[in-house]
Amino acid sequence: MSATESDKSSLAGDSGMAATDPRKRRRALLIVGAVFVLAGIGWFLLWLFVLSTRVKTDNAYVGGNQVAISAQVPGTVVAILADDTQRVEAGQVLVKLDSTDAEVRLQQARSALAQAVRGVRQQTSSASGADAQLAARRIDLKKTEADLQRHLPLLAAHAESPEVVQHLRDGVEQARAAVTAAQAQADAAHAAIAGTDVAKNPAVMQARANFRAAWVAAQRNAIYAPVSGYVAQRSVQLGNSVQPGQQLMTVVPLHNLWIEANFKESQLRHIRIGQPATIESDTYGSDAEFHGKVVGLGAGTGSVFSLLPAQNATGNWIKVVQRVPVRISLDNTELDKHPLRIGLSTTVTVDITNDDGRVLAATPANQPVAQTTVYEQMASKADAEAEQVIRANLPDDIH
C-alpha cells in the first residue's frame, strides 16, 4: 500500500471516531439527565406522600407522675417497709412512725367523747327533772288559787277574817313566782338538748370531731402509698425525726405515661389535637413500636418557663429556633408488654394528614387527672370508730 492510501485510511478512521464520540456523550448526558429527573420525581413523590404527611423529632422523652411521699405528722421513723425499685400498691404502708404520743391523745379524745355523751344524757335527765318540778309548781298554784276562791265568799259574808284571805292571796303570788322560776329552769335545761338527739348534740359533735382528728392523726403515723407504682429516691432512714411535708421517697406509677415531644416551631403548623403518632424508644428500638395520639400542645416554649428566661432585648442577638412541648398519650396495653421509664429518649412521628382538628383545647377537663381513695377510707373508719364510742355510752334501750 502506498503512503497516499495509508493516509486516506487514517483520516477515514479519525472521522468515524469523531462521529461516534458526540453520540456517546449525548447518550450519557441523556442517561444522567434521566437519572436526575427520576430522582427528582422520586423525591417529590416521597415528599408528597410521606414527608409532607408527618413531622418527626427525636427531642422527645417519656413523662409520668412522680408522687412525693411525705409525712403528715411529726414523729420518729421506726420502720421502713418499701425500698427503691420495689412495687407498692395503693393503701400499702410505706413508713411507720412512733405512735406513743398519738395513742395517748387518742385515748384522751376517746374519753372526752364518752364523757360528752354521758354529759348530754345527764342534761336530758336534768331537763326531765325540771319538767317535773314545773308540773309540781303548777299544781301548787292551782291549789292555792282554789283555796283563795273558797274563802272569798266567806270574806264577803264576814265569815272569814281579812288576814286569812290576804294570806291566801300572798300564797297565790308565791305559787305563781315559783311556777315562773320552774319554767325558767326547765327552759334552761331544755336549751342544751332541744332539737337534737344525743348523737347530734353540739357538745357530742365537738367531742366527736376531736376524736376523729386524734384518730386520723394516730393513723397518720403509718404513711400510706396513695397510688400503685414503683419506689424511687428513698431518702428516709430509721430513727429520722421527720416533720410534716418532709419528702421521704417517691412513688412512680408506670401506667398512664405520656411522651413530651419538643417540636420546632416550624413543625407546629399542621399539628392538631387527636392526630395519631408512633413512638420508637431508644430502649427497644424498632422491635417495639408504641402508638398514641396528640392530647395537647404546650402554652409556651421551653425557654419561657426556664428558671432564667432568655432576655432577647439586648444589643447582640442571635435567633435560636424555639421548641414547644407536645404531649403524646401512650397505650397502657403496649406499656404492659414493653414497660417504659420516665425520662427515656424516644423518637416521635406525628401523622399530620388530617389537620382539621383544634390546636388548643376548647373545653375544660371534666375528669380528675389523678385521684386516690386511700384517705377517704381512713376518714370513714374514723367515723365508724366514733359511732361505736357513742353507742357504747348510750342507754341499752337506745342502742
**C-alpha to C-alpha distance for 346 and 125, rounded to whole angstroms:** 75
Mean pLDDT of 334-351: 94
**Residues, the chain:** 399
Q: Is 10 exposed, middle or buried, given 0-12, 13-18 or 19+ CB atoms closer than 10 A?
A: exposed
- 11: pLDDT strictly greater than 60: no
For the entire predicted model, the pTM comes to: 0.71
Backbone angles phi, psi at 319, to 5 degrees: -70, 130
Strands (E), 160-228: 222-224
pLDDT tens string 143-186: 777 766 766 666 565 656 667 667 767 777 787 887 787 778 67
CB–CB of 270/335 below 8 Å? no
- Strands 247-252 and 258-264 turn out to be unpaired
Q: What percent of the chain has pLDDT over 90?
A: 40
**C-alpha to C-alpha distance for 168 and 305, rounded to whole angstroms:** 94
CATH of the structural domain 258-367, one choice from 1.10.579.10, 3.30.300.30, 2.40.30.170, 1.10.3720.10: 2.40.30.170
**C-alpha to C-alpha distance for 191 and 203, rounded to whole angstroms:** 13
Backbone angles phi, psi at 32, to 5 degrees: -60, -45
3-state SS class at 232: strand
pLDDT at 48: 62
pLDDT at 362: 84
Backbone Cα Rg of the chain: 46
CB–CB of 375/225 below 8 Å? no
Could you tell me where in the chain the CATH 1.10.287 domains are found? 101-217+378-392
CB–CB of 213/105 below 8 Å? no
pLDDT tens string 267-300: 998 899 999 999 999 999 988 999 999 999 998 8
- 65: pLDDT strictly greater than 90: yes
Strands (E), 187-307: 222-224, 229-232, 241-242, 247-252, 258-264, 276-281, 289-297
pLDDT at 317: 79
User: Mean pLDDT for the chain?
Assistant: 83
Could you tell me where in the chain the CATH 2.40.30.170 domains are found? 258-367
- HSE of 235, CA atoms in CB hemisphere, 13 A: 12
Fold of the domain spanning 101-217+378-392: Helix Hairpins (1.10.287)
Question: C-alpha cell of 347?
Answer: 423518637
- 97: pLDDT strictly greater than 90: yes
Nearest to 340 by CA among 294, 262, 282, 297: 282
Cα 275 to Cα 4, 62, 122, 326, distances in angstroms: 84, 18, 71, 11
3-state SS class at 316: coil
Mean pLDDT of 258-267: 93
